[in-house]
Structure 1
Amino acid sequence: MADSRVLVPLSDSSTVRATVAHAVERVLAESTVADPGTVRFVYVHPEEAAVSAYDGDVGDEEGVSRAEALLNRAEVWVEEDAGEEIDAVSVETAQVGDDEYLFSPGDVAQVIARDAVSTDIDRVILDPEYTPGVGGPFLRPFTSELETMLAIPVEEAPVTRSTIRGPLIDRFTPTRAGVLFGLSFLFYQVLGGSIYWFDIVTGAMSATVVTVALSRVSLTRTPDLQSPVRLLRAVIFVPYLLAEIVKSNLLVAAVILHPRLPIDPRLTRIRPAVHGSMPVTTLANSITLTPGTLTVRVHGRTMIVHTLVEDAREGLFDGGLERAVRFLFYGRRAMRIESLRDRGETEILQSPESEPETAMTDGGEPDDPDSPDEPAADAADEGGDSS
């Protein structure tokens, strides 16, 4: 076995070149030609690759080519840095996380930790500006997550960081100002409860003040053509959600009024095909708003949902709310998707009334041994995105 096996997660940053050089230096210091060390470079795919593959598209070809290009450059850099000692170091490359939805630093750390354990890595070296594409730079929480998952050293490469200071305020655009003015004016009129000339004048004055003061800091991005389109979709989505709430109310009321009270409380795990914080939050809240179902926990795109009766559970597995949220955020074509049940993205967990000593699943949630016929999520997926 080699004296040194170092894992280096790669991202296209300003310090990645210096990080590779440091990793090669560490390996060469602990290895010889007779017993060479290894530098293993891994590229964690950002969320767009997993989403594209999940939705049945051809794939994120741009992301794949970007990963291959970076990994190939790393191999060339190793040859440059090792020089005449190249025989004392070997290189391994891998692309990981392309079949999972990575939502947080913990998800990324979990993917890298699994790879480190499976390949017998004895040290992880991190780029100070490591950004795999899930949110912004998050090295500190990411490092903390890795250190709790691994029993091997996790260190940051001692390289000089480039100082990046983003502006506290964004540039002024007429579109952003107009949208903020319209929203502020509408909100003022709704609070006023009546429309008279005095309300219109004071509303316009208040909206002007808000626009001047906050137009450069209030919106994270300038509204585009998708904003009004999504607003029109919401006009369809909201009545659908209200209808589902009414239908679920009637269902739960019928069960409560039934003499035998035929409830069947169960915890379930689902993995809906939604991505991004806003779509995931919308679906989780929509499930909670419909009586009979309650979103207990959300981790990435995996949700733990409590269902009170079997009909509510079957409706959840049919994926009506999932398709409605996909329509709201991704358009009509996104509704052409199989149900959660047909995709095998459902799992019935232990009933709350079951014995507490019942076995637990790998994801930390109770497992129901009395439900062997229920569809279970793929074991590999659950290992990558446990709740």
Structure 2
Amino acid sequence: MTESDARRLLVPVADSETVRNTVAYAVEQAQATAGEGRPVELHFVVVASTRSVDPDAPAELGAATELLDRVDVWVQEDLGTEPPDLLTITENVLGSDRYLFSPGDYADALLEYATEHGIDRIVLDPEYRPGGAAPMLRPLEVELSRGEFEIERAPVERRTRPTALARAASLPKYLTLFGASYVFYLLLSAYKPLDFLTGAITATIVTALLAPVTFSRQPSVTRLPVQLARLLVYIPYLLWEIAIANLQIAYVVLHPSLPIDPKVVQLRAAVWGDAAVTTLANSITLTPGTLTVSVTDRAFDIHSLTGSAREDLFDGALERAVRFVFYGREAAAIASPRERGDDGPADGPPAEEVAGDD
């Protein structure tokens, strides 16, 4: 098998509602090709709209890198524990050396990359619309047709914006919330026959009222049971961390010199999605010595009471455990916040200025 026999797919990604499904489709296509005994290269690229020398470049290039981190987690999740030997994954950020305005500019950057790397197929997210969609501008797909490449729109469903009634009627949301409410009710009950009936009634009322606002996305029927099983493993681990932190704080409180060093720091955690972010934020708060003050996207502003609490936080044990719950074992191997450099003072006054006596 020669290098010329390799199949090379290019997948431009952006933060859209269908990007997750597009990544899954591209991985599925690559796995099928590798399963036929043919080498396949899968290239995921983010095209930045700002040059690296522009004042706002760090923020946009940072967002591009974060998106590729998410793509990496999704790819590992879709490939499983035994990825094909013939499959190669490449991730890149394009466009930081030029100004990009119209779909034609973005197409130029993609076509140059495709030519340089011998791409023979471009898979487009149906919601991928860089450079705007004004009527006077030719669509990206038309601009890409200038190259000698096969172009395909990923056959994934676009998320619509249903009414509150339609969202409430979503079966996966209804069943997930009903099951969680019912189990929680039974955990607090005496397991008498009447409790099973009142629990069902209570869970039905909770589901009818909260189903429209509980989930920002559809729960995955296939992934949810696996995540719940991992959560059962995570709970004892969290309880152990809480117990250890309690002993550490008890030592600090009982020490004659009261060796505290309170500061507010910022942690940019490698977790995405409402459930994962909420789980990590609450886990940090439940662990004595640290308190999640606010969360914006992936930025966690955290009040820490001692230096050792901050050390543990940036070592990333809790973050890795939460990634394991929601993304799988492979995702837990991502570098810690300290290794990524995703820690530091919170926005506003420096850490030294926000420090104070509690």
Q: Please report the TM-score for the alignment, with normalisation by the length of structure 1.
A: 0.48
For 1:231, the aligned partner's letter is L
For residues 73 and 281 of structure 1, do their structure 2 counterparts lie closer, same or farther at Cα, with a shift above 3 Å needed? Answer: same
Distance in 1 separating the partners of 2:306 and 2:351? 19
**Correspondence 1:164-313 to 2 at 5 A:** 166-170=162-166, 178-191=175-188, 193-204=189-200, 217=212, 220=215, 221=218, 223-313=220-310
Q: In 2, are the aligned partners of 1:265 and 1:306 still within 8 Å (CA)? A: yes
Q: Deviations over 1:128-153 (max 9, x none)?
A: 9xxxxxxxxxxxxxxxxxxxxxxxxx
Matched with 2:342 is 345
Q: In 2, are the aligned partners of 1:326 and 1:334 still within 8 Å (CA)? A: yes
For residues 209 and 60 of structure 1, do their structure 2 counterparts lie closer, same or farther at Cα, with a shift above 3 Å needed? Answer: same
Distance in 1 separating the partners of 2:15 and 2:234? 38
| Greater C-alpha radius of gyration | 1
| Secondary structure of 1:263's aligned partner | coil
For residues 265 and 166 of structure 1, do their structure 2 counterparts lie closer, same or farther at Cα, with a shift above 3 Å needed? Answer: closer
Give unmatched runs, 5+ long, in structure 2.
1-13, 17-47, 51-59, 77-88, 95-99, 111-130, 136-159, 354-358
Distance in 2 separating the partners of 1:264 and 1:253? 15
| Secondary structure of 1:285's aligned partner | helix
For residues 59 and 167 of structure 1, do their structure 2 counterparts lie closer, same or farther at Cα, with a shift above 3 Å needed? Answer: farther
1:75 to 104, 116, 121: 104
Give unmatched runs, 5+ long, in structure 1.
1-9, 13-40, 65-70, 77-90, 96-123, 129-163, 350-362, 370-387
For 1:197, the aligned partner's letter is P
Q: In 2, are the aligned partners of 1:54 and 1:273 still within 8 Å (CA)? A: no
Q: Deviations over 1:175-222 (max 9, x none)?
A: 65554554454344345x2223333345456656777x5798576425
Q: Deviations over 1:85-106 (max 9, x none)?
A: xxxxxx99889xxxxxxxxxxx
Q: What is the aligned length?
A: 234
Distance in 2 separating the partners of 1:11 and 1:342? 25
Q: In 2, are the aligned partners of 1:53 and 1:59 still within 8 Å (CA)? A: no
The percent identity for this pair of structures is 41
1:52 to 68, 71, 75: 71
Cα distance, 1:233 vs. partner? 1.0
| Secondary structure of 2:241's aligned partner | helix
